[in-house]
C-alpha cells in the first residue's frame, strides 16, 4: 500500500531580509497531511499563511527546514523537476485568480497540459471536461475580463484540476468573492474532496474553514492550533 502521507514538513522556516530587518514569516512549522484530507489553514493577516502555502506549492523555497512531498525531499529537486512537480502534482488556486487575461477560458485551462506535452485534441477534451465540471461549459470561449469574479475563480479551479494533481492548494480562493459565490466555490471544493482530492485551503473566515475537515491555525509563523472540525465525526 502507498504511503498515506502526502505532505510532511519539519521545522519549515522562511525569513525575508529587508535591509537591516529580518521578517520571520514562517518559524518552524511541523505538519503532516495525509491523502484525502481537507485542511484549512487559518490565522490573522501576516501570520505566514501565504508564505507557507507558496513553499508547499514549490513556488518558493524555505530558508530552513525540510519538506517532503509524496515522500520526496523537495530541496533535492532540480529546477526542471520542480517545474514538473508544479505541473503534475500540484494545482494552485490563487486569491487573485492569476489567469492570462488575453487567453480564453479554455486556453487558460489548457496551459498546464501544454507544459505537460499533451497533444492538442486530448488537451481540449480534458480542459472542456474540467470546465464543465465547474459549471462553465457555456463560457469556454470567454476571456477573463469578460467574466465575473466567481466565474474566473472557477476557471482557475478547473485549471488547477486539469492535470489531476495529487494536491490542490488554494490561497484564499474566496477572498475576492461575495458570500454567495464563495459558498458556491466551497461546495465545489467539498465535492472534490469527497471524491478523494487532497485539499489545502488558506482562509481567515470561520464559515469557509467550516467546509474543511481539519483546521490548522497559524500565529506569527507558528502553529497555534491543529484540530478536526466537529462536524467531521457526525459526517463520517
Partner 1 sequence: MLLFEIIMVAMGAVRANVLRSALTTLGIVIGIAAVITMVALGEGAQQRVQEEINRMGTSILTIRPGQQMWGGVSRGDAQLSIDDAIALRAESNGLLRVSPEQQSRMQVTYGRWNSNTQIMGVWPEYFEMYGHELQSGRWFDQGEVQGRRRLAVLGANLPETLGDTPPELLVGANIQIRGIIFEVIGILEEKGDAAWVRPDDQIFIPQSTAQYRVMGGRDRLNSIYAATETPDELDVGFAEIDRIMRREHRIKVGEDADFNVRNSADLLETRNEANRTFALLLAGIAAISLLVGGIGIMNIMLVSVTERTREIGIRKALGATKRAIMTQFLVEALFLCTLGGLLGVAAGYAASEAVTRLAEWDTSVAPEAVITAIVFSAAVGLFFGLWPARRAAILDPIDALRYE
Ligand X SMILES: Nc1ncnc2c1ncn2[C@@H]1O[C@H](COP(=O)(O)OP(=O)(O)OP(=O)(O)O)[C@@H](O)[C@H]1O
Q: How far is CA 49 from CA 11, 57, 110, 152, 214, in A?
A: 15, 12, 28, 23, 15
Which one among 98, 179, 191, 225 touches partner 1, defined by CB under 8 A? 98
Q: Does 54 bind Mg ion (CB under 5 A)?
A: no
Among residues 114 and 232, whose Cβ is nearest to partner 1? Answer: 114
Classify 187 as helix, strand or coil.
helix
Q: Does 50 bind Mg ion (CB under 5 A)?
A: yes
Instruction: Tally helices (H) and strands (E) across the chain.
Output: 8, 10
Q: Report the distance separating Cα 8 and Cα 71, nearest Å.
A: 8
Q: Does 45 bind ligand X (CB under 6 A)?
A: yes
Q: Does 75 bind partner 1 (CB under 8 A)?
A: no
Per-position x/- string for 55-74, each x denoting binding to partner 1 as judged by CB under 8 A, each - no binding: --x-xx--------------
**Spatial CB neighbours of 94, under 8 Å, sequence gap ≥ 6:** 156, 171, 173
**Which among 170, 186, 44, 178 is positioned nearest to 96, based on CA atoms?**
170
Q: Does 88 bind ligand X (CB under 6 A)?
A: no
Binding-site ranges for ligand X (CB under 6 A): 16, 18, 23, 25, 43, 45-51, 204
Binding-site ranges for partner 1 (CB under 8 A): 54, 57, 59-60, 79-80, 83-84, 86-88, 92, 94, 98-100, 102, 111-112, 114-117, 119, 159, 163
Amino acid at each position: 500500500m502507498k504511503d498515506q502521507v502526502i505532505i510532511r514538513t519539519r521545522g519549515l522556516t522562511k525569513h525575508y531580509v529587508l535591509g537591516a530587518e529580518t521578517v520571520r514569516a514562517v518559524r518552524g512549522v511541523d505538519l503532516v497531511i495525509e491523502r484525502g484530507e481537507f485542511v484549512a489553514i487559518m490565522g490573522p493577516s501576516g501570520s505566514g499563511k501565504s508564505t507557507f502555502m507558496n513553499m508547499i506549492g514549490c513556488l518558493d523555497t524555505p530558508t530552513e527546514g525540510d519538506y517532503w512531498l509524496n515522500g520526496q525531499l523537495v530541496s533535492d529537486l532540480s529546477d526542471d523537476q520542480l517545474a514538473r512537480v508544479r505541473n503534475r502534482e500540484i494545482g494552485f488556486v490563487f486569491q487573485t485568480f492569476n489567469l492570462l487575461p488575453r487567453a480564453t477560458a479554455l486556453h487558460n485551462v489548457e496551459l498546464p497540459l501544454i507544459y505537460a506535452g499533451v497533444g492538442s485534441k486530448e488537451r481540449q477534451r480534458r480542459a472542456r471536461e474540467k470546465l464543465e465540471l465547474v459549471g462553465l461549459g457555456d463560457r469556454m470561449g470567454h476571456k477573463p475580463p469578460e467574466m465575473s469574479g466567481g466565474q474566473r475563480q472557477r476557471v482557475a479551479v478547473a485549471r488547477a484540476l486539469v492535470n489531476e494533481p495529487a494536491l490542490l492548494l488554494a490561497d484564499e480562493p474566496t477572498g475576492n468573492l461575495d458570500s454567495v459565490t464563495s459558498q458556491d466555490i466551497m461546495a465545489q471544493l467539498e465535492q472534490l474532496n469527497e471524491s478523494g482530492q487532497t485539499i489545502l485551503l488558506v482562509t481567515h473566515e470561520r464559515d469557509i474553514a467550516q467546509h474543511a475537515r481539519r483546521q490548522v491555525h497559524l500565529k506569527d509563523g507558528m502553529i497555534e492550533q491543529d484540530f478536526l472540525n466537529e462536524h467531521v465525526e457526525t459526517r463520517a
